[in-house]
Structure 1
């Protein structure tokens, strides 16, 4: 399943609830999920990392749906066709 189709299916199933919840609530849940991901990474728990990555992606797509933004094309443009590594502050 491609990202665009996944986002559409999430929209079909969850948009009504997400719209009632509102963007600030969804953002708060995203922050919570990122925190849980950070804890799983810190502990090196592969199964938990997978679970939390799924939760983070779900929340990102829920927010994308709420704002009617479809990030797949921009992801390809920015990270596949382009290469932003020269702007990253890495050693």
Structure 2
């Protein structure tokens, strides 16, 4: 899965609901999910940690969508792209 694909899925599934909820309420949901991730980490439950990490990513992308931010471009700008992923992608391989 690539970030662009994930972001498009989140946009298609949740943008309308997120728009009605608004930016700050959507951000509040993200903060709640970060808290749930912290609890899962403290409890040492790997399955719950995995689930909460997915939730944090999804809600982060929802916030980005509301702001019109391309997550893949933002990541590449911040971290200079991920050369290993780019190289493998150009060879038709998965990272």
TM-score, normalised to structure 1, is 0.82
* Over 2 Å off, 4+ runs: 76-82
Residues 23-53 of structure 1: CA deviation (Å, up to 9, x unaligned): 1111111110000000111111100000000
> How many residues get paired?
82
The CA RMSD over aligned residues, in Å, is 1.6
Native 8 Å contact 2:29 2:59 kept in 1:
yes
Distance, in Å, in 1 between the alignment partners of 2:62 and 2:43 is 27
Provide TM-score, normalisation by structure 2.
Answer: 0.79
Structure 1 regions of 5+ residues with no counterpart? 83-91
